[in-house]
Structure 1
Amino acid sequence: MRRVLLSASSVRTRILAAVVGLAALALVVSGYTVFYLQLMQVQDRIDAELEADAREFVVLHEVGVDPSTGEAFASPSDLVRTAMERIIPTRHEGVLGMVDGEVMYTSPVADVALEDDPELVASLGGYATAERAQFTTISTELTTYRAVVVPVQASLDEEPGAGNNQAGAAFVMAYDQSAERAQFSGVFVTYTGVAAFSLLVVALVGWLVAGRLLHPIRLLAETSHRITQEDLTERIPVTGNDDLAAMTRSVNDMLDRLEGAFTAQAHLIHDVSHELRTPLTIIRGHLEVLHTDDHEDVLATRELALDELQRMNRVIDDLTTLAQADRPDFVSPVPVDLGTLTDEVYDKIFALGDRRWLVTERAEGEAVIDRERITQALVQLAANAVKFSPPGSVVSLGSRVQEDSVIFTVRDQGAGIAAEDLDRIFDRFHRSDTSQPGSGLGLPIVKAIAEAHSGSIHAESEVGSGATFSLILPQSAHSSTHSEHTPKDTDL
């Protein structure tokens, strides 16, 4: 049982691991996909804002007029200074004005002081003296920046002798990209917490659902542990109408078959020990007192032993027949003509004894039955009728179709059966008249044949008025039959 329970627990764990694993994979993939897409959107937004700032600076440069004075910019550095006054940096953004690769102007209102990062300033020097504007990403020990650098060179038409006014300048706008992403990533920290909580809920629900689904398996393990050869009555409760319920019913059916097999085995052992003990005792007793020098005693003992051995052989044959009754191949039903079968049985039974044999009713048509087994049952009933009726009395055989059943009857004019014995005559080794020879297995065999056909056997009798045995069998639904009620009267 421990191995079965461990197996059930292992299945439950594997189911839970699969469910949680798939849920975790779905959350990770969806979360990463959203995170990546949002990260790209943040990057695109940063680039769009930097491009807008750079375009505003370019427009100011193309106009070439200082809005505060209405006059043309005297130098590129004046243009940069004016742009820094007019273009206000946003969150996580900084601005610088550079002249000849050196920081000349800073913004006191910028969220990020770019001038405080020497490594960044040194990296921007090369871009500030370039011939065209450039977007770039610069990583330093402090953070990672996304920047746009727009260099401005002195105009060729400016008057000479302007001195430092002729120096090149650059307008720099840069985002602290790491800070921007960190604020955005905070949302996904919350997502991670929610996802972890969701996995916990999935794990809990999955554990409960898997336990409910595997409950029949645990019941099977517990029931199989309680079932022993001495007690096969335990069954698993069936609930619902799903696959597990079907499995439970199949297991219960298997237990029914096992119980039937063990019961049949127990009956066989009991029957063999019960019925064979007496002849063995008789044979042994006579052999123990046998005078080997007495020829007549030897012959008498030999005849007695042979007679007892023959009786034992008949008992073994009958017990073998009963033991085979639960096998699927015990009967082999095929379409059989009922009238022909009735005639064949009559031809066989009239030689059983000096009786007046009658066929009182003869069915016509077909039924799906095992010809040999039904013949065996009817001959056994006729042999019993001969055994318990006087010579010359009437023994009748009949067959008829009634609704969807075929009924064979054997009636005698013997001593009859007491009412208290009617319910027990089909039990093994039960004999209502112990003065008559026999093993008490004939009627149980007839009952087994009837039940193998999904039919039954019934007895009606009164003491002194004979007995009537009715073998009732189902008939094929496709048979077309009628009963012929003209008795066939034959005297032997």
Structure 2
Amino acid sequence: MFRSVEIALTSLYVFTTAVLVGGIYYLHQVIGFQQWGIIALGVLLVTVGVGRVLAKIALDPLREHFDHLERLSKETLHELNLPVNTITANVEMLRKTNTDDKSLKRLERIETAATMLKERYNELDYLIKKQMERERIESFDLETLLSERLDFLRPLYPGVAWEILTGSWNVQCDRIGLGKVIDNLVENGIKYSPHSPAIAIVMESNTLSICDKGQGMDEITLMRIYDRYYQNDTAMAGYGIGLGLVKRYCDRHGIGLHVASRPGEGTCVKLEFKKGEKQNG
């Protein structure tokens, strides 16, 4: 498809150039037309007209191609979500009926693979939505967004102990992206708290803290958590992708990102919003 577009553009460009040069030569040398201002205006009008035609020839196939890719991506994401959730749910059921070490290790490997697929799904989902929405900046209450995300997350993780302390605070940024950031940080906290996961979400002034009491990370790991595919050990599985997305979002919207962690004590991530965004009420 693009090869034929390239040939059409080249042919039209060569033909237009030849017509312009031939026309100028004919007017000046054959007819003896000497009004260069009118000649220049005519050349400009022809150039603009041909430019519009060239742009249409070049962009229409691209627009059609990207529309097709967008539809295909949305359909593929929708189809991926169901089998991943099915695998995860069945692993949990099988874990209750299988107690021998070999079966449990196999189930753990299946669950790890499903988790990796889910992470790729979440990343693609956010990137596609961001591309479609063009990151619409809006003003909204952070407490309302937190309530919406918790209503979504709590049923998915019934075994989590939640500690929620929030207040009303107005922010101005991309709402969809911030919701994905919150989901990512909460799910990371749960994922790396294998025993009795507990998540604390606290909003103090302009800082939102999302903390867990999981296995935590050492200083070396903390230095590389934003590297896209860095994986120090099994404790780091997935952290690079997720926190990389979080950091890019925060950098774009001027949100301070601070991560504190200690092995065996858990991890605390703080999002510091701009000082100018003030408390509601």
TM-score scaled by length of structure 1: 0.31
Aligned-partner SS, 1:422: helix
Which residue, 265, 268, 273 being the options, matches 1:465? 265
Aligned residue number for residue 253 of structure 1: none
Contact 1:458 / 1:469 at 8 angstroms: preserved in 2?
yes
Aligned residue number for residue 198 of structure 2: 394
Aligned residue number for residue 42 of structure 1: none
Which residue, 128, 131, 136 being the options, matches 1:332? 136
Which residue, 194, 201, 207 being the options, matches 1:407? 207
Matched, 1:379 2:179: no
Note closer, same or farther for the CA distance 1:375–1:350 as it changes in structure 2 (3 Å cut): same
Note closer, same or farther for the CA distance 1:456–1:432 as it changes in structure 2 (3 Å cut): farther
Ranges in structure 1 where 5+ consecutive residues have no aligned partner = 1-303, 483-492
Aligned residue number for residue 171 of structure 2: 367
CA positional deviation for 1:398 = 1.7
Aligned-partner SS, 1:392: coil
What is the letter of the counterpart of residue 192 of structure 2?
F
Aligned-partner SS, 1:444: helix
Contact 2:225 / 2:239 at 8 angstroms: preserved in 1?
no
What is the letter of the counterpart of residue 443 of structure 1?
L
Matched, 1:344 2:148: yes
CA deviation vs aligned residue, 1:35-64 (integer Å, no higher than 9, x gap): xxxxxxxxxxxxxxxxxxxxxxxxxxxxxx
Which residue, 233, 240, 249 being the options, matches 1:449? 249
Note closer, same or farther for the CA distance 1:312–1:417 as it changes in structure 2 (3 Å cut): closer
What is the letter of the counterpart of residue 151 of structure 2?
D
Aligned-partner SS, 1:429: coil
Contact 1:394 / 1:413 at 8 angstroms: preserved in 2?
yes
Larger Rg over CA atoms:
1
**1:78-117 → structure 2 map (5 Å cutoff):** none
CA positional deviation for 1:332 = 1.9
Aligned residue number for residue 95 of structure 2: none
Contact 2:190 / 2:197 at 8 angstroms: preserved in 1?
no
Note closer, same or farther for the CA distance 1:443–1:433 as it changes in structure 2 (3 Å cut): same
How far apart, in 1, do the equivalents of 2:149 and 2:209 lie? 12
Aligned-partner SS, 1:351: helix
Aligned-partner SS, 1:389: coil
How far apart, in 1, do the equivalents of 2:214 and 2:186 lie? 12
What is the letter of the counterpart of residue 370 of structure 1?
D
CA positional deviation for 1:480 = 4.2
Aligned-partner SS, 2:166: strand
Aligned residue number for residue 161 of structure 2: 356
How far apart, in 2, do the equivalents of 1:428 and 1:371 lie? 24
How far apart, in 1, do the equivalents of 2:129 and 2:147 lie? 28
Note closer, same or farther for the CA distance 1:385–1:357 as it changes in structure 2 (3 Å cut): same
CA positional deviation for 1:432 = 4.2
Aligned residue number for residue 177 of structure 1: none
How far apart, in 1, do the equivalents of 2:169 and 2:247 lie? 24
Is the helix fraction higher in 1 or 2?
A: 2
How far apart, in 1, do the equivalents of 2:260 and 2:239 lie? 22
Aligned residue number for residue 315 of structure 1: 120
Aligned residues: 171
What is the aligned-residue RMSD (CA, Å)? 3.4
CA positional deviation for 1:390 = 3.0
What percentage of residue pairs aligned between the two structures are identical? 23
How far apart, in 1, do the equivalents of 2:236 and 2:276 lie? 39
Note closer, same or farther for the CA distance 1:309–1:469 as it changes in structure 2 (3 Å cut): closer
Aligned-partner SS, 1:448: helix
How far apart, in 1, do the equivalents of 2:186 and 2:209 lie? 10
How far apart, in 1, do the equivalents of 2:120 and 2:218 lie? 25
Ranges in structure 2 where 5+ consecutive residues have no aligned partner = 1-108
Which residue, 405, 421, 428 being the options, matches 2:228? 428
How far apart, in 2, do the equivalents of 1:462 and 1:373 lie? 28
CA deviation vs aligned residue, 1:60-80 (integer Å, no higher than 9, x gap): xxxxxxxxxxxxxxxxxxxxx
How far apart, in 1, do the equivalents of 2:239 and 2:263 lie? 22
How far apart, in 2, do the equivalents of 1:330 and 1:418 lie? 37
CA positional deviation for 1:380 = 0.5
What is the letter of the counterpart of residue 338 of structure 1?
L
Aligned-partner SS, 1:416: coil
Aligned residue number for residue 218 of structure 2: 418
